[in-house]
Amino acid sequence: MLGPLTLLISFLAVPWTISDPIHVAVNISCPMGVEMQGAPWCATIWIFEEDPVSSNDLLKKEEFCNKEHLVNFAYELSPGSDQTPNYEINFQLQHNCSNDHMIRCLKPKQAHDVLTIGHTYLDLQIHAYLDGTLGNCDENI
């Protein structure tokens, strides 16, 4: 039979990390938004937690069209528990913010490290104009 001390040590030996929500502010600028002769520019943003061992976890997907040059979103995301002290949060943006209105996919190579414990804030400043590779983003993040 296991004693109370053995149970406590066993419980503490398991790497448990329960995360608090992540507050994410997204600001996407498209200076062409005002110069497209009344036509809106459109985009889809995927925010996800990168997982090097298994598949990435999609946290938020937002689709929009806008005539303004700046679009803002605020999210409270809860990725769930993890066995590491940090989440690797990244995004990809599919957009037509360009003078040729061609679809581009913008995905940073480096994710943002975000602590899993405590109130965490992530500020994504995205300058979309002519940024990204030509073509649609892969929806299988």
Per-residue pLDDT at 11 exceeds 50:
no
Q: Higher pLDDT residue, 99 or 134?
A: 134
Per the structure, how many domains does the chain have?
1
| pLDDT tens-place string over residues 23-39 | 999 999 998 755 666 78
The single-letter DSSP state of residue 32 is G
Nearest Cα to Cα of residue 82 among 62, 122, 54, 110: 54
| pLDDT tens-place string over residues 61-80 | 999 999 888 999 999 998 87
* Residue 89 belongs to domain spanning: 32-134
Q: Higher pLDDT residue, 42 or 118?
A: 42
Is 67 part of a structural domain of the chain?
Answer: yes
Is 15 part of a structural domain of the chain?
Answer: no
Backbone angles phi, psi at 74, to 5 degrees: -135, 130
Is 10 part of a structural domain of the chain?
Answer: no
| Range in 117-121, 125-129, 130-134 with the lowest mean pLDDT | 117-121
Is 24 part of a structural domain of the chain?
Answer: no
Task: Provide, for the chain, the percentages of residues in helix, strand and coil under a 3-state DSSP scheme, each rounded to the nearest 5.
Answer: 10, 45, 45
Is 22 part of a structural domain of the chain?
Answer: no
